[in-house]
C-alpha cells in the first residue's frame, strides 16, 4: 500500500502552514497534561451521556466513542474547494432522485442501468410521479470525504437517507473550547455552533406552500432503543423543536397532527430519523409500530414535508455511487470538483474478473452495507477471509463493488503511547433549503484509533476529532 499523506507534516516532513501553531503548541505542552485532558474529555462525554449502541451484539451495551483531543485542521482555501465540490455533488444528487421518480431521462440516456434502479430494494415505486415540496429530496446530506495528498480529496460515500454524527461535531467543539482555550486563542477557527440555527432555517424553508403561518417542525425518532437516540434528543433540544415518536402523531383528513396537552397541533415538517420501511404501516411494513398510519397519504397530498424525502436511498447505494461522476456531468454539464474513488462493479463480468484476480490488493464492499460491516480489506485479510469473499463474489457478484486500497491521510492522534499518526476521514453536512445551500465550516472527522487500521466507523472501534477550518 502507498505511504499515507501526513496532514501535519506533508510529504517532505516540514510542518504544513495550517498546522504550524498546533505544532508549536505540542512542542510546549507536557505529555502528562495531554493525557490528563484526554481522560477529562472522556469523563465529560460519560457525564452528559454521549453514547451509542451496536445492534446485533450479544450484550448491546452503550458505548463511548473515543474522542481524540488533537484537532484536525483545514486551511480556508482547502475548505473553499471542498464547499464548492459538496454543493455541486448534492445538487446533482437531488436532480438525479427527481429524475428517477419523474422523467427518467438519465435511464433513457444510459447513464445508469435500469436494473440498478428498479431492482434496488430501496427504490420506492410509491414516489413515482410524486411532487415533493420545492423539488428538494435530500435536505440533509452527509458526504464522506477522504484525502490522499495535499490537493486530492475523494468522495468515499454519499449518505442521502438519515446521515448521523452531527451531534459529535458540535459536542467535540464544545469540549475542545472548554479543555483547550489557550490553543483556540492561537488560531482563528471558523465556528460550527450555528449548525442548529442553519438546520432549523433549512427545515422551515421547505414547509409545504399550504402551511398556515410559521411552520411547525418536529424531529421523529424510532425511540430510546435506537443507536442514535442521543443525537435525536440532542438535536431536538438544540433546535427548540419537539422530539416525537410515531405514537405522538396522527393523520386526519390528510394532515399530520401532534398530540399536545393543549390539544392537536398541525405539523408541517418532519425531520425524520427513521427508515422508509417503518414510517407508515399502511404504506410500507404493516408490522411497524414506529410509524404513523396515513403519513404517506398526507405526504402525497402535499400537506407535510419529510426531510429527507422517501426513496432517497437510490442515491446512496454503493453501486450507484460509481456512476456519480457521469450523473454530475449529465445533470449539471460540469466536471466533478470532487473525485470518486475508482470503483469496479462486480455486476460487470470484466470488472468481476479483475477483482477476483486482485482480491489481496482491493477493498470489497457490500452494495447495501454500512458501518464498516460486510467489508474486505485485502492487504490486511487472512487467506480464509479472502477465500470466503471469493465465494461470495462468485455466487452474488451484483451485491459487491471493489476499490483500490487508498492510503487515507493521517493526523497526529493522542494514544496510550503518546502522539502517533492515525488514518482519518471527514463527514461534512450539507443542508439544502428552498432558499439556499448551507454548509457549516467543518464536519465530523472520524479516526481509526488502531495502528494501521483504515476502518474509522465507531461500530468498529473508530473515534472522532474536532475539525478546525481556519478563517480566511
DSSP 158-173: EE-SS---HHHHHHHH
Bridge partners of residue 418, in order along the sequence: 415
CB 412 within 8 A of CB 421: yes
Strand 153-159 versus strand 339-340 pairing type: parallel
Phi, psi of 118 (to 5 degrees): -70, -25
Question: Which of 245, 259, 136, 139 has the alpha carbon at shortest distance from 200?
Answer: 139
| Three-class SS state of 32 | helix
Cα–Cα–Cα angle for 68, 69, 70, nearest 5°?
Answer: 95
Q: Which three cell numbers stand for residue 95?
A: 436532480
Q: What is the mean pLDDT of the chain?
A: 92
Cα–Cα distance between 281 and 85 in angstroms, integer? 38
Question: Which of 132, 104, 149 has the alpha carbon at shortest distance from 4?
Answer: 149
Question: Which of 457, 425, 463 has the alpha carbon at shortest distance from 41?
Answer: 463
What pLDDT was estimated at residue 420?
A: 92
Cα–Cα distance between 432 and 466 in angstroms, integer? 24
Distance from the Cα of residue 381 to its chain's centroid? 26
Cα–Cα distance between 251 and 300 in angstroms, integer? 13
CB 422 within 8 A of CB 449: yes
Provide the greatest CA pair distance for the chain: 67
Strand 400-404 versus strand 344-345 pairing type: antiparallel
Q: Which three cell numbers stand for residue 349?
A: 463480468
Q: Which helix (H) or strand (E) holds 278?
A: helix 276-279
Cα–Cα–Cα angle for 187, 192, 193, nearest 5°?
Answer: 115
Cα–Cα distance between 390 and 400 in angstroms, integer? 11
CB 222 within 8 A of CB 278: yes
For the whole model, what pTM was predicted? 0.94
Please list, in sequence order, all residues whose beta carbon lies within 8 angstroms of the beta carbon of residue 106, skipping any fewer than 6 positions away: 96, 99, 100, 112, 327, 330, 331
Please list, in sequence order, all residues whose beta carbon lies within 8 angstroms of the beta carbon of residue 260, skipping any fewer than 6 positions away: none
Cα–Cα distance between 189 and 191 in angstroms, integer? 6
Question: Which of 215, 97, 126, 196 has the alpha carbon at shortest distance from 438?
Answer: 196
Strand 63-64 versus strand 265-266 pairing type: unpaired
Q: Which fold has domain 344-404?
A: Dna Ligase; domain 1 (3.30.1490)
Q: Which helix (H) or strand (E) holds 343?
A: none
Cα–Cα distance between 367 and 346 in angstroms, integer? 10
CB 332 within 8 A of CB 88: yes
What pLDDT was estimated at residue 51?
A: 61
Report domain extents, the chain: 17-208+304-341+406-469, 344-404
Splitting the chain (472 residues) into consecutive groups of 10 residues, what average pLDDT does each group show? 86 93 93 88 82 53 81 97 98 98 97 94 95 96 95 94 93 94 95 97 95 93 90 96 98 97 97 96 95 97 97 92 97 97 93 94 84 77 91 92 91 90 96 96 94 78 92 80
What pLDDT was estimated at residue 370?
A: 64
Cα–Cα distance between 52 and 207 in angstroms, integer? 31
CB 429 within 8 A of CB 142: yes
What pLDDT was estimated at residue 472?
A: 72
Q: Which helix (H) or strand (E) holds 383?
A: helix 383-395
> Which letter does DSSP use for residue 156 in this model?
E
Amino acid at each position: 500500500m502507498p505511504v499515507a499523506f501526513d496532514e501535519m507534516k506533508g510529504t517532505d516532513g516540514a510542518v504544513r502552514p495550517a498546522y504550524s501553531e498546533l505544532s508549536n503548541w505540542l512542542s510546549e505542552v507536557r505529555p502528562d497534561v495531554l493525557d490528563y485532558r484526554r481522560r477529562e474529555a472522556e469523563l465529560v462525554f460519560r457525564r452528559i451521556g454521549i453514547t451509542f449502541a451496536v445492534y446485533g451484539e450479544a450484550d448491546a451495551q452503550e458505548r463511548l466513542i473515543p474522542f481524540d483531543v488533537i484537532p484536525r485542521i483545514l486551511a480556508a482555501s482547502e475548505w473553499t474547494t471542498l464547499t464548492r465540490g459538496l454543493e455541486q455533488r448534492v445538487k446533482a444528487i437531488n436532480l438525479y432522485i427527481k429524475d428517477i421518480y419523474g422523467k427518467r431521462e438519465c435511464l433513457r440516456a444510459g447513464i445508469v442501468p435500469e436494473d440498478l434502479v428498479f431492482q434496488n430494494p430501496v427504490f420506492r415505486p410509491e414516489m413515482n410521479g410524486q411532487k415533493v415540496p420545492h423539488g428538494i429530496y435530500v435536505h440533509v446530506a452527509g458526504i464522506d470525504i477522504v484525502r490522499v495528498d495535499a490537493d486530492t480529496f475523494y468522495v468515499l460515500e454519499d449518505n442521502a437517507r438519515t446521515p448521523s454524527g452531527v451531534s459529535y461535531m458540535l459536542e467535540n467543539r464544545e469540549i475542545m473550547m472548554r479543555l483547550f482555550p489557550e490553543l483556540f486563542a492561537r488560531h482563528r477557527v471558523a465556528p460550527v455552533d450555528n449548525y442548529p440555527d442553519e438546520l432549523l432555517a433549512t427545515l422551515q424553508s421547505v414547509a409545504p406552500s399550504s402551511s398556515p403561518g410559521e411552520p411547525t417542525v418536529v424531529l421523529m425518532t424510532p425511540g430510546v432503543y435506537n443507536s442514535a437516540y442521543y443525537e435525536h434528543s440532542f438535536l431536538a433540544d438544540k433546535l427548540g423543536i419537539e422530539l416525537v415518536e410515531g405514537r405522538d402523531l396522527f393523520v386526519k383528513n390528510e394532515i399530520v397532527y401532534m398530540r399536545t396537552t393543549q390539544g392537536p397541533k398541525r405539523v408541517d415538517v418532519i425531520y425524520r430519523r427513521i427508515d422508509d420501511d417503518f414510517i407508515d404501516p399502511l404504506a410500507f411494513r404493516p408490522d411497524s409500530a414506529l410509524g404513523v398510519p396515513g403519513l404517506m397519504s398526507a405526504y402525497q397530498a402535499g400537506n407535510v414535508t419529510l426531510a429527507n424525502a422517501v426513496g432517497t436511498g437510490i442515491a446512496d447505494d454503493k453501486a450507484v455511487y460509481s456512476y456519480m461522476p457521469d450523473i454530475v456531468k449529465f445533470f449539471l454539464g460540469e466536471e466533478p470538483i470532487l473525485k470518486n474513488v475508482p470503483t469496479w462493479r462486480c455486476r460487470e463480468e470484466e470488472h468481476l474478473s479483475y477483482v477476483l484476480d486482485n482480491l489481496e490488493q482491493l477493498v470489497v464492499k457490500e452494495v447495501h452495507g454500512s458501518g464498516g460491516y460486510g467489508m474486505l480489506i485485502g492487504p490486511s485479510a487472512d487467506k480464509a477471509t479472502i477465500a470466503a469473499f471469493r465465494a461470495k463474489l462468485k455466487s452474488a457478484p451484483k451485491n459487491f463493488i471493489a476499490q483500490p486500497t487508498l492510503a487515507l491521510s493521517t493526523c497526529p492522534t493522542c494514544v496510550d503511547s503518546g502522539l502517533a499518526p492515525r488514518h482519518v476521514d471527514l463527514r461534512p453536512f450539507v443542508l439544502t433549503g428552498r432558499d439556499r445551500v448551507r454548509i457549516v465550516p467543518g464536519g465530523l472527522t472520524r479516526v481509526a484509533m488502531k495502528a494501521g487500521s483504515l476502518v474509522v466507523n465507531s461500530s468498529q472501534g473508530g473515534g472522532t476529532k474536532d475539525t478546525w477550518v481556519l478563517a480566511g
